[in-house]
Amino acid sequence: MRAHLTARGFLRAQRRAFSATSRLSDSYGFIGLGQMGYQMAKNLQSKLPPSDSITLFDINSDAINRLAGEMRSSQSGGAAVEVSRNVYDAAKEADVVITVLPEPSHVKSVYSGILSPDLPKKERVYIDCSTIDPSSSREVARWVADAKQGQFVDAPMSGGVVGAAAGTLTFMLGAPDALVPKLEPILLRMGKRVLHCGAQGNGLSAKLANNYLLAINNIATAEAMNLGIRWGLDPKTLANIINVSTGKCWPSEVNNPVKGVVEGAPASRDYSGGFGISLMKKDLKLAIVAANEADAKLELGDRAREVYEEAERVETCKGRDFSVIYRFLGGRE
């Protein structure tokens, strides 16, 4: 019996050894090293094995060199680091290409540059974490499919720069079911949650629907707080009532726009940090575009967009967290 168990244990050990040594190394291309992408790439590289490699590109060469230097000097190891001269070079040898870019035009430009006729044929996976409109994303997915260069998926995220640095982002994934097991481990090196929303483009649809609601809830919360305070209510008392009643929402409970109501909220530090008003304006605009394409009626969308546009032109609101709408409304600080 002992000999039989020993032999069986030996075979299991052999299988484990084969499994451990047969893993092929993976090559990653990471394009877009802004505030979010910089931190995401840093987390990804640190959690990849040394046998893997990551190639970086951004139009800001200082950002590339600074991040590569930080990665190489890190004591925690991680994947080998390379820098590239352009988007084509970043993707040429990659098995996985990750892009984090500001606007639909940037995404289209980058993928036009990658999908050169000279690009070696390879079953790559392209993960676009940019927040763009679903129709633009599906257009790029068709380019990739037509070029027979692999598969393109959308994985916009929430959590902001703080979440990107901490590795706690939530990704809303639009991808075929069969591809999810391959994508999840990659995304979880940069975040803590992956929500599969269905087919390609659905991740963006989910994020834009959520951010549309958030944009309007934020304005309504600022108006309600301003109204109650002008009626003589104490701000904390009012917020506590809202947050145990039917008006409760994320802007009232977590990101309250009145200074001193929620410790650590942007309102308590002159609306610095957080989710910038320009980003909310952008996401709201994208949601309206996507709604029009889907023939979905929005009664409040255009007016909400006007509010954010007007607020962004005010010097004391520009560049601040989107809860600064309370200041724009003349809320007492």
- Catalytic amino acids? 207
Give CA–CA dist 189/175, Å, rounded. 18
Residue of 108, 115, 42, 124 whose CA lies nearest to 81: 42
Task: Give the tokens for residue 205.
Answer: 């649809």
Residue 178 exposure: Cα atoms within 13 Å on the Cβ side: 2
Give CA–CA dist 174/128, Å, rounded. 10
- SS3 of 194, please? strand
Residues 103, 37 contacting (CB under 8 angstroms): no
Indicate the DSSP class of residue 102: S
Distant-in-sequence, close-in-space partners of 288: CB < 8 Å, separation ≥ 6? 298, 301, 302, 305
CA angle 102, 108, 109 (to 5 degrees): 85
Give CA–CA dist 92/88, Å, rounded. 6
Residue type, 120: P
Q: What is the enclosing helix (H) or strand (E) of 172?
A: strand 169-174
- SS3 of 132, please? coil
Bridge partners, residue 174, by sequence: 154, 198
- SS3 of 80, please? strand
φ, ψ of residue 281 in degrees (nearest 5): -60, -45
Residues 208, 132 contacting (CB under 8 angstroms): no
- The runs of H, that is alpha helices, within 147-249 are 160-166, 180-187, 202-230, 235-242
